[in-house]
């Protein structure tokens, strides 16, 4: 157990639908990062939050959004889902000035 | 912007043999360098990291990596591979920018271990 909790572990949904992925960071970590991992694109950085505020954006589609709540958990919202959104979505957390990440075990999203 | 290249998509080694996984990075200044391992169905786990100081870094599970500035490399090594080391290994480079600290991951090298 890495200390980063992601739910659900698996999600199957239809095209056009909307889903929410949840992440609880390791205790004491203020930063949360979201990554998408697929066979053809590898590990792609989506977005980072630090203590409730958006800090950095990567290759995140406009159909995707995220937020970090006062208790530091984060949610990634994926809407108007397409087949190509099928992937593993990872959340990672880190403490200030410690740039190594602790990853959760991921959410496997399958869009049918 | 930083980038990282892992030239080998997959590598097969015999159990007990030594291992070296290659990683080359591109960044103007001294980057933060990392190696992560991902077992099937799992998230990534940090093996080791280099920020500054001694260029030979020791990590968990018996792994080490050496930073070579002249070659822009940060290769991962292990003297004797165990079957449980079969996994995918990711090199990553991080740097502080205007938007905060960003980490870019390589495409990964899948390690197969044969008996």
Query: Residues in chain A, how many?
Result: 112
Unique residue bearing structure tokens 């996994």 = B87
**B103·A101 Cβ contact <8 A:** yes
Question: Of A65, A67, A60, A25, nearest to A46 (Cα)?
Answer: A60
Instruction: Report whether B62 contacts B35 (CB < 8 A).
Output: no
Smallest Cα distance from B83 to chain A, Å = 22
Top residue of B30, B89, B94, B103 to mutate, by most chain A CBs within 10 Å, is B103
Coil, helix or strand at residue B57: strand
| Residue A1, Cβ density class (10 Å: 0-12 exposed, 13-18 middle, ≥19 buried) | exposed
Q: How do residues B15-35 score in pLDDT, each as one tens digit? A: 999 999 999 999 877 789 999
> What residues in A contact B39, CB-CB < 8 Å?
none
Closest-CA residue to A94 (of A76, A74, A77): A74
**Tokens of residue B100, six digits:** 């905060």
Tell me, yes or no, if A58 comes closer than 8 A to chain B by beta carbon: yes
pLDDT in tens, B65-108: 999 999 999 999 999 999 999 999 999 998 877 767 788 999 99
Q: State the average pLDDT over residues A64-70.
A: 97
Q: Is the pLDDT of residue A98 over 80?
A: no
Question: What integer pLDDT is reported at residue A93 of this predicted model?
Answer: 95
What is residue B110's predicted lDDT score, i.e. its pLDDT?
A: 97
**Euclidean distance between CA atoms B85 and B51, whole angstroms:** 25
Q: Do B46 and A92 touch (CB under 8 A)?
A: no
């Amino acid at each position: 157990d890495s200390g980063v909790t992601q739910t659900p572990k698996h999600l199957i949904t239809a095209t056009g639908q909307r889903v929410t992925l949840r992440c609880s960071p390791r205790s004491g970590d203020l930063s949360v990062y979201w990554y998408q991992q697929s066979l053809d694109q590898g590990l792609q950085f989506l977005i980072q939050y630090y203590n409730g505020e958006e800090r950095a954006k990567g290759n995140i589609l406009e159909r995707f959004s995220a937020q970090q709540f006062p208790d530091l958990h984060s949610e990634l919202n994926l809407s108007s889902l397409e087949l190509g959104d099928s992937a593993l979505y990872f959340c990672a957390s880190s403490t200030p000035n410690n740039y190594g990440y602790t990853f959760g075990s991921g959410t496997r999203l399958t869009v049918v | 912007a930083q980038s990282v290249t892992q030239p080998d998509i997959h590598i097969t080694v015999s159990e007990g043999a030594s291992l070296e996984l290659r990683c080359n990075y591109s960044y103007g200044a001294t980057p933060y360098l990392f190696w992560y391992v991902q077992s099937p169905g799992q998230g990534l786990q940090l093996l080791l990291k280099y920020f500054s100081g001694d260029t030979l870094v020791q990590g968990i599970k018996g792994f080490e990596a050496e930073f070579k500035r002249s070659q822009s490399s940060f290769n991962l090594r292990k003297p004797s591979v165990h079957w449980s080391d079969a996994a995918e290994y990711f090199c990553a480079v991080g740097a502080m920018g205007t938007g905060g600290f960003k980490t870019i991951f390589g495409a990964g090298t899948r390690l197969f271990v044969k008996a």
